[in-house]
Amino acid sequence: MRLLRRASALLLRRGIALYQTRLCQNDSLFRVHPSVSQALAENKPVVALESTIITHGMPYPHNLSTAREVEAIVRAEGATPATVGVINGEVYVGLSPEELNHLAHCESPLKVSRRDLPYVISKGLSGGTTVSATMIAAHRAGIPVFVTGGIGGVHRDGENSLDISADLTELGRTPIAVVSAGVKSILDIGRTLEFLETQGVCVATYGASKNFPAFFSPQSGFISPYQVCNPKEAAKLIESTLSLGLQSSVLIAVPVPEEHAAVGKEIEEAIQTAVTEAGAKGITGRDVTPFILQKVNEMTKGKSLQANIALIHNNAKVGSQIACALSKHSNERRTRGDTHHHEKHSSDSESDIVVIGGINVDFIAKGKNKKLVFGQTNPGSVCQSFGGVGRNIADSMSRLGCRPLLISATGADSHSDAVFNHCKHMNTSGVARLKEQSTATYCVVISESGELSLGLGDMDIHETITEEFVSQFEEQFSSATLVCLDGNIPVSTINYVCSIAAKYNINIWFEPTDSEKACKPFLSDAWKSLSYTSPNLAELVTMNRTLGLPTPEVMPSCPDEVLRVAVALSRPLLEHLHCLVVTLGANGVLLCGEHEAGSVNLQPRKQNKRKHLCALHYPALTVTEEETVNVSGAGDSLAGAIMAGILKHQDTDSCVRTGLLAARLSLLSPHPIAPTLTSGSVDPNKIHTHSWPKPTFMWID
């Protein structure tokens, strides 16, 4: 049985990979939105959406607003929406806002089913894709879940007219999961279910009942052969279908929400009247459905439209949850097969911390002379390591027993191969691997003493960590204890995460990266949603200057003056931030925040009431120039260790001392995060050093 399951999982992955390969080798008839192709490449959840709802299902502006709302619901659930439509003879899988607007305003758009695709493409026409055409496009792109309102079926008197929707035959020959509110009640539901059985389509009602829904009503008078109670069960059913290699689909029938089912009876009566009128007027074929929907909307004074929109919203929510569960289950199985030691982490720890930031391949050059002479070759040594602030922090925390989810991006090149091989101990499932992009590289030149002399970086790929990309993980970071942002990511992404933080009361740690990028959250009110930040003195100056606050013209050199300035610059930020961890190099670390039990409270704030503010200064641990190998990861090691301590509910003193020991290990290692870093190697209770710093306490106000 275990062998069969492994074979099924392999078949599933190969099947998805095959669809994606077809997509990448695609002819010019299919255009896939970058966000969709990126999500598919990383096995992230994607939900296909049809577009006849835009072109034929609703009047303007309800059609456009509903399409936008549905896409927003999909994103809110952690998936990427892929609305399918035909524009000027090309099939679009994923529409931009401008393309959605184009379809909503399109004059005389066609209703494009399987049979219509060749003609519409050959003539360069535009139209909305029906269930069948959307299934074809989604399957070709490798999207396993498609959400619609209701599918077509066998029309009433279909046994004589043979008027049977192409949706049903498509369900029998295209392996994809279709999430709908059952079958439109204007159809012959009994014969439709019989036809689906003949086509080999697995039908299951979603929820607590086996009753098969009839669009506006949760009950049609018929029973589904099967039932799934939640997204996880639905995902397992879909995975079984894909793994078996069946060419038929799965139909997940979702009942309309109860609060909107009350008007179902009134709508049903209007439908019967509209059906009779359509017959009297000789309306047949594809014109029947839009005629009936329009008449029903008129007779119910808009109630049917409201119920229709609510139904589609609900389908989008459920379908997205199923897509996320399917993606998660697939990724978990892949992770178990590739890195067995990940199994030791509990699922609870996986959601504790999310890190959003950069991954770099670092080249560290260290001179052998005290002074480097520019313009000539200097003797020294060069080594390669793996860095990036986000990666470093996630690496540090992973080695200290946490399981952060790292959200980042690399190229699909040899550098990224090396990165993923080096980071097998980390959860990199949130890292996109992008074609036609280069993995970020950073070259740093340091003197014999370990001081930075020159840094060069190719960091363009960090701009791909966009709001749209990050929004796929909203479910993960909205439930996390802590979210860490590094300053490499775009301002718009920082603002987006901060807005989510305000909504869900998330604690955000901002690592500024450098003095130039430290300003990003402070360009707007986004900074007020931060809980922690870990700047050095120059970055702290930038933050204050960006807010229009007074800053020193000359940086102080005297240790006492450095502390005084750091405290003064931290004070205005504490109007909103919970705690500042100011790194002062050779002058140690300064914590500024709320007072609790004679120390600075590092644990997440439990109430909005402001307590007294204080500061705690820890001198640095001694590391000689000869011992210093590099300085590129010390601050990240410190921050990662402190965050790990916060998640483990350690006291402030233990958190900071652990962080100082982690930073010291980094200085002694050629790698930004020392491979020797473990909970035991930086346990302040086990490591006795003659230079243990004694913190200095001071009141701020």
Tell whether the model's pLDDT for residue 183 goes beyond 70: yes
Assign 5 a pLDDT band (cuts: 50, 70, 90): very low
Tell whether the model's pLDDT for residue 631 goes beyond 80: no
Q: Give percent of the chain with pLDDT exceeding 70.
A: 89
Assign 26 a pLDDT band (cuts: 50, 70, 90): very low
Please give the pLDDT value at position 11. Answer: 40
Q: In sequence order, what are the residues at sequence separation of 6 or more whose Cβ sits closer than 8 angstroms to the Cβ of residue 549?
A: 569, 572
Please give the pLDDT value at position 17. Answer: 39
Tokens of residue 674, six digits: 């020392």
Of residues 42, 50, 350, 594, which has the active-site annotation? 50
Please give the pLDDT value at position 225. Answer: 94
Q: What is the pLDDT of residues 511-522, one digit of tens each?
A: 999 999 999 999
Catalytic annotation on 611? Answer: no
Please give the pLDDT value at position 10. Answer: 42
The residue type found at 601 is: N
Higher pLDDT, residue 551 or 9: 551
The residue type found at 411 is: G
**Average of per-residue pLDDT across 603-629:** 80
Please give the pLDDT value at position 147. Answer: 96
**Average of per-residue pLDDT across 577-585:** 95
- Calpha distance 239→502 (Å, rounded): 36
Please give the pLDDT value at position 478. Answer: 81
Please give the pLDDT value at position 693. Answer: 66
Please give the pLDDT value at position 257. Answer: 81
Q: By C-alpha distance, which of 407, 417, 411 is closest to 433? A: 411
Tell whether the model's pLDDT for residue 411 goes beyond 70: yes
- Calpha distance 565→567 (Å, rounded): 5
**Average of per-residue pLDDT across 297-304:** 76
Tokens of residue 55, six digits: 């072109």
Tell whether the model's pLDDT for residue 642 goes beyond 80: yes
Please give the pLDDT value at position 676. Answer: 87
Tokens of residue 109, six digits: 């758009």
Of residues 44, 111, 184, 303, which has the active-site annotation? 184
**Mean of pLDDT over the chain:** 84
Residue whose token pair is 């709802």: 53
Higher pLDDT, residue 272 or 47: 47
Please give the pLDDT value at position 70. Answer: 93
Please give the pLDDT value at position 629. Answer: 73
Q: What is the pLDDT of residues 96-113, one digit of tens each?
A: 999 999 998 888 899 999
Tell whether the model's pLDDT for residue 337 goes beyond 70: no
Backbone φ and ψ for 372, nearest 5 degrees, come out as -95, 135
Assign 1 a pLDDT band (cuts: 50, 70, 90): very low
| Lowest-pLDDT choice from 108-117, 182-191, 479-488, 655-664 | 182-191
Please give the pLDDT value at position 15. Answer: 41
Please give the pLDDT value at position 6. Answer: 41
Please give the pLDDT value at position 9. Answer: 42
Please give the pLDDT value at position 610. Answer: 65
Assign 406 a pLDDT band (cuts: 50, 70, 90): very high
**Average of per-residue pLDDT across 485-503:** 93
| Lowest-pLDDT choice from 10-19, 185-194, 239-248 | 10-19
Please give the pLDDT value at position 341. Answer: 32
- Calpha distance 337→6 (Å, rounded): 9
Please give the pLDDT value at position 22. Answer: 39
Omega prior to 61 cis, within 30 of 0:
yes
**Average of per-residue pLDDT across 85-96:** 93
Catalytic annotation on 123? Answer: no
Assign 235 a pLDDT band (cuts: 50, 70, 90): very high
Please give the pLDDT value at position 322. Answer: 96
Where b means 16+ CB within 10 Å and e means fewer, 276-302 reads eebeeeebeebebbeebbebbbebbee
Please give the pLDDT value at position 326. Answer: 92
Output the furthest CA–CA distance in the chain (Å, rounded). Answer: 97
H helices of 281-302, where?
288-299
Q: What is the pLDDT of residues 268-298, one digit of tens each?
A: 778 778 888 887 888 876 677 778 777 877 8
**E strand spans, 113-213:** 127-129, 145-147, 177-180, 202-206
Tokens of residue 317, six digits: 């929510």
Higher pLDDT, residue 300 or 46: 46
Q: By C-alpha distance, which of 43, 51, 125, 61 is closest to 82? A: 51
Tell whether the model's pLDDT for residue 2 goes beyond 50: no
Please give the pLDDT value at position 497. Answer: 94
